[in-house]
Structure 1
Amino acid sequence: MSVEEILSRDFATLPEVIAEQAGERPDQLALVDAKRQLTFGQLDALMDRIAAALQRDGVKNGDVAAACATTSVEYAATFLGILRAGAAVAPLAPSSTPESLVMMLTDSGAKVFFLDKGVSDALAGVADQITAKRVSLDGSDAGVPFETWLAAEGAKPAPVTVAPEQPFNIIYSSGTTGTPKGIVQPHSMRWGQIRRGVYPAGAVTMVSTPLYSNTTLVSFLPTVSNGGTAVLMPKFDAEQFLKLSQQYRVTHAMLVPVQYRRLMERPDFDSYDLSSFVMKFATSAPFAAELKADVLKRWPGGLIEYYGMTEGGGSCGLVAHEYPDKLHTVGKPLPGHDIRLIGEDGKEVPQGHVGEIVGRSGAMMVGYHNQPGKTSEAEWHSPDGLRFIRTGDVGRFDEDGFLTLMDRKKDMIISGGFNIYPSDLEAELAKHPAVLESAVVGVPSQKWGETPVAFVVLRKGKSATAEEIVAFVNGNVGKTQRLADLIVVDTLPRSHIGKILKRDLRDGYQGKALA
C-alpha cells in the first residue's frame, strides 16, 4: 500500500505511514537537529529498535512511556518509537517542579521514563519516588544510556493492533504544584490532524517549541507523517530561527505569538532570505492584530491562526492573508468543527451575543486521565445529546461567522504559549505565614505575552515584603509559572456575592506592560 493510499484511509496509525514513507523515500531527511540527522529509512529502523526495546522491558500494547527532556532527534524518534510499540506517550515539561513530575509519572503509570541530565539533576531530591525504568536520551548518567538500552540493529518489534480510540498521548495541562490533569488524546484525533493536508510531502518545518506541547505536536506529527523534514530547535532563539530558516529553506513553521513578536522586533529581520516560506501558523495565546499585519507585510508566505484547546473539541482558523480585515478575530470554525456559544444557563445564545465557547469535532480528548469528575465538568451536551468540550473562554460571532474572543472565563494565564493556572499560584501564596488571601491575574508582558502578578492581603500582626513573598513562591513553582510582580493591598475588590473581581485588579494594575 502506498503512502497516498494510507493517508486516504479513514484511520491508520502514524507508525504505519512512517514505515511506508521509509519504503518510498528512504533517503529523504526526516529529522534534523544541531548534532544529528536521520533519513526516513534511518528513522524507521530506529523506531523499530526503540519499540523492540520497550517490549523487551515489559511495555505492552496500551501501556504508557514518559519522556521529559530537551528537544532532540533522539527525543523525537523515541516519541514515535513508543507509538510503534502500541504504547501511549506522556511528554512532560522539564520546567515542572520535581514534585509535579513525580505526580505525573505516577498518574500516567509510565513503565519507562526517558530523560536527560538536566531533568535528572532537578529530580535528585525525589529520585527514590520514581519507579519507572530510566533511560538517558543524552547518554549521561541520568539512566541507562540510550544507545546501550536500544535493541540490537535490525531488531523488529512484535506487531500490535491499535484501535482508533486507544490513547496516543497524555498531555498534562499543568506543571505547577497543583494536581495536573492528564489530557488523553486518542489515535483517531491525531489521525484527523495528520490528514488535514496543510503539510505536504517535501515540507521543511521549523520546530521551535517543545515536544511536550500540543502546539508542537500538531505541526511536527503531520510533517513527518506526510514525508517532510522537521528541523528541531532545542530552545527558541530568534537569531538562530532565522539562520536555520535560511539555511534549510524552511517552508512551514508553527509559532506562538510571543515568538512572532521577538522575530519581528529584530533590526536585522529583513536581511534574512525567507522566500522559501509557504505557510506560517500561530496558536496558544492571543495574537495582536497589529502583529499579524506586520507578519503579513514583511514575512513571505501565508499566515493561519488556529484557536482551540489541547483537550480538542472545536477549533477555528483565521486565514489571515485572505482576510486582512478580520485580523482582530480568530477566524471561522474549521471544516467538520461545530462551534457554539452558551450562556450561564447552559443554553445557546442568539447570533451576535456573547457566550462561552464550546466545540465538537473528530478531534476530541477521551477525557482527563483518572479524573472522571473533571472530564464531566469539561463537557457540554447539546439538546440532541451531542458531546462538546467547554473552552472556558467567552466570545462572539460577527455577521460573517468570524469568532472574536472577549475574555477568558477561567482567568487562565497564557505566558509564552504555556498555561498558568492562578489557583495553583494562589495555593502557594496561602502557604506563606503572612498571607491572608490573594488573587493572581495575568498582565501584559512584552517578553511573554502575559505574565502572572499577585495581589496579596497580609494577616493582621504579620509583616513581609513583596520581594520576600515572591521569592517564597517562585522557589516552589516551575520556571514558567513564576510571579513577575506582587502588590500588597488592604483588601481585594469583590462583587456583591463575594467573588473577587480579577478584572478590576488587572485593569487597575499600575505596572502596565512588563518587560
Structure 2
Amino acid sequence: MLNQGIGSWPARRARKTPDRTALVHEDRTWTYRELHQRVLRLAHALRALGVERGHRIAYLGPNHPAFLETLFAAGALGAVFVPLNIRLAAPELAYGLSDSGSTVLVHAPEQADAARAAADRAGIGHRVALDGPGDGALGYEELLTAGGTDPLDETVAPEDPCMIMYTSGTTGRPKGAVLSHANITWNSVNVLVDTDLAADEVTLVVAPLFHTAGLNMTCLPTLLKGGRVVLLGAFDAERVLETIEDLHVTHLFAVPTMYDAMAALPRWATTDLSSLRTVSCGGAPVPTRTMDTYLTRGLAFSQGYGMTEASPGVLFLDKAQAAAKAGSAGVPHFFTDTRVVLPDGRDAEPGHRGEILVHGPNVMTGYWGRPADTEAALTDGHWLRTGDVARIDADGFAYIVDRVKDMFVSGGENVYPAEVEDVLLTHPAVSECAVIGIPDRTWGEVGRAVVVLKPGAVADEPDILGHLRGRLAKYKIPKSVVIADTLPRTASGKIIKPVVRDRYASAPTGHRPHP
C-alpha cells in the first residue's frame, strides 16, 4: 500500500481478519471488514466535501465508533484529525477549531449546541451531526450512504502529521501537539511489546478517546493487534463492572479515581473479574490503598507515565514489579529513552531529583503553529522537556516526584506536593486531596492541603495534620487544611492545580463548599 499511516490500518486488518469483531458499542458490533467499508465510504464523502491532504477534520463527542471512523478516514486522505474535549465551553472549542484551521467538524448530538456555536464562531465550512441532518448540519450516516466504495490508497508517509491533540490548557492557551503517523505507530508498538496485548484481547475503553491515553495506549494498540474494542460513552462504575463480567473483558485502563469508584460499589466483591488479564493505570500514581484493594481480588496494576507530547507512553511498570517497585512509574518503554537532568543540564545521579527528558520515535514533531514553544520544549531538537521532577533508583526505575511548577520552597527546602498527598490519602477519612504552596512571611511558602472527605466521614484540621506527624518531615507538613466538597479535574481525571490555587489559596480554613 502507498498509505503507510494509520489510515491504512482498517484496510490492512480487513485483509487479515475480516470477520473478527473490531468494535462493540451499546448493542452493536462491527467486524474489521465493516469498519474498513465504513471508513472508506466516509473518506470518499469527506473528499466530496473538499477535504484534501493536510486539511484538518475535528471531532467533538464521547466515545463512539464514529470517532475512530473519522480518525481513520482522515488518515486515509492524508488529512489531520483534531479530537476536541467535550468538557470545553463553546469559546474554548472555537479556539481549537480556529487554531487548528479545521474545515469540517463532526459532532455527537449531546454536543450539538456547543458544536453549532463554536463552528459559527470559527467559520467552519461543514458541520456533520451523528444524529442526522438539520439545523445547518449534514447527516453522518447520510454521508456514509452516499460515499463511494472504490479503493482508496493515498500516499501517506510515516512522518506526515496524523493528529493535533490539544494539551489540557490548565495554564494559558492550550497547545496543539502534532503527532505523526510514525509517532502513533511506534507508541502502539511500544504498548504491544510491553503489555503483551493478544489477538483475542477484549479491551474496555472507558477513558475518553479525545485524551491520548484512552486512544493511543489502549484503543489503537488493540486494533493494531486485531483485538476487540468495547467503547463506553462515559464512565459509570456500575456499568463498567457489569461490562467486564458480561463481555469477559481482558484489558482495562482507567485512572485511580475510577478504580476507587468501582471498588466502593456493593457488587465489587461479587463481580466476576476472572477474565481480566491486565488492569493498567495512568494520569496519577496509584495510591497504596487502591493497589491493596485490587490485590485482594488477585489483580495487580500495570502503571505508566506519559504525556500528550510523547503520544503518550514514556515509562511503564509491569504488574510483576508493581509490589517490589511500589510508587515507581517504571522504566522507559522499549523504543523510548529518558534522562533525568539537573538545572544545569547534567544527568542526575541515582537518588537525586531532576527534570525528566524523553527521546524516541513517539515524541511529537512539535506544537501546531508555535515554533517558539516547540524550540523551548525540544532540547537540542530531540529531547522533550516534560516539566516533571523525577528520581531514578539504582535499578533504573523512575519515580515521578511532582511537576516542576507544582514544587514550592519552604524555608529553603523543596516541597513536592505529590509526596505529601500520598501520605494524606492514608488517612481513613480522606477521599481526595491536593497540596498547594501559599505565601508565608516567615518561610516564604508553606503548604496548604485541600481535602475531600469520604461520604459520612468526619475529620478536622488538627486531626488531618496530626496524621502526618511522624510520617513526614516537619517542613513538608502543611500549615493549614481546607475541607472541600470536590476538587476540579480534567476529563482524564487529573486534578487541575492552577484552579485549586485560584480557588483555595486565600480561602479561610475549615469547610469550604464548591463555589
Structure-1-length-normalised TM-score:
0.77
1:181 & 1:334 partners in 2: Cα distance? 25
1:149 & 1:202 partners in 2: Cα distance? 32
Please tell me whether residue 18 in structure 1 is matched to residue 10 in structure 2: yes
What amino acid maps onto 2:392 in structure 1?
Answer: F
SS in 2 for 1:223: helix
Q: Give the deviation of 1:35 after TM superposition.
A: 4.5
Q: 1:210 to 1:156 in 2, by over 3 A?
A: farther
1:391 & 1:215 partners in 2: Cα distance? 16
Please tell me whether residue 184 in structure 1 is matched to residue 178 in structure 2: yes
Q: 1:512 to 1:396 in 2, by over 3 A?
A: farther
Q: 1:86 to 1:441 in 2, by over 3 A?
A: farther
CA contact (8 A) 1:304 1:320 kept: yes
Please tell me whether residue 40 in structure 1 is matched to residue 35 in structure 2: no
Within-5 A mapping of 1:63-212: 63-123=55-115, 125-132=117-124, 133-139=126-132, 141=134, 143-150=137-144, 152=146, 155-156=149-150, 158-174=152-168, 178-196=172-190, 197=192, 198-212=196-210
* Runs of at least 5 residues in structure 1 that lack an aligned partner in the other structure: 415-421, 423-438, 448-469, 491-507
SS in 2 for 1:195: helix
1:64 & 1:356 partners in 2: Cα distance? 34
**Residue in structure 2 matching 1:410, options 396, 400, 405:** 405
Equivalent position of 2:235 in the other structure: 236
Within-5 A mapping of 1:360-371: 360-371=359-370
1:370 & 1:160 partners in 2: Cα distance? 25
Within-5 A mapping of 1:385-396: 387-396=382-391
- Higher mean Cα deviation, 13-22 or 323-332? 13-22
Q: 1:239 to 1:144 in 2, by over 3 A?
A: same
SS in 2 for 1:111: strand
Q: Give the deviation of 1:377 after TM superposition.
A: 1.6
Q: Give the deviation of 1:296 after TM superposition.
A: 3.0
Please tell me whether residue 326 in structure 1 is matched to residue 321 in structure 2: no
- Higher mean Cα deviation, 209-218 or 127-136? 127-136
Q: 1:191 to 1:314 in 2, by over 3 A?
A: closer
Q: 1:83 to 1:127 in 2, by over 3 A?
A: closer
1:488 & 1:359 partners in 2: Cα distance? 33
2:509 & 2:389 partners in 1: Cα distance? 23
Listed one character per residue, the Cα deviations across residues 373-400 of structure 1 (whole Å, up to 9, x for unaligned) are 111221223xxxx721111111111122
What amino acid maps onto 2:503 in structure 1?
Answer: L
Q: Give the deviation of 1:175 after TM superposition.
A: 5.4
Q: Give the deviation of 1:215 after TM superposition.
A: 0.8
Name segments (4+ residues, structure 1) moved above 6 Å.
439-442, 479-482
1:361 & 1:239 partners in 2: Cα distance? 39
1:235 & 1:314 partners in 2: Cα distance? 23
Structure-2-length-normalised TM-score:
0.77
Q: 1:83 to 1:70 in 2, by over 3 A?
A: same
Equivalent position of 2:215 in the other structure: 217
2:169 & 2:349 partners in 1: Cα distance? 38
Please tell me whether residue 50 in structure 1 is matched to residue 51 in structure 2: no
Equivalent position of 1:304 in the other structure: 302
1:338 & 1:26 partners in 2: Cα distance? 36
How large is the RMSD of aligned CA atoms in angstroms? 3.6
Q: Give the deviation of 1:224 after TM superposition.
A: 1.3
Q: 1:16 to 1:489 in 2, by over 3 A?
A: closer
CA contact (8 A) 2:10 2:72 kept: no
Listed one character per residue, the Cα deviations across residues 330-383 of structure 1 (whole Å, up to 9, x for unaligned) are 1122223221111222322222211111111121001110011111221223xx
What amino acid maps onto 2:363 in structure 1?
Answer: M
CA contact (8 A) 1:254 1:282 kept: yes
Equivalent position of 1:351 in the other structure: 350
Report how many residues are paired.
437
Listed one character per residue, the Cα deviations across residues 294-331 of structure 1 (whole Å, up to 9, x for unaligned) are 2233154x531111211118711111333412111111
* Runs of at least 5 residues in structure 2 that lack an aligned partner in the other structure: 408-416, 419-434, 436-445, 455-484
CA contact (8 A) 1:199 1:226 kept: yes
1:250 & 1:148 partners in 2: Cα distance? 33
What amino acid maps onto 2:11 in structure 1?
Answer: A
1:513 & 1:356 partners in 2: Cα distance? 35
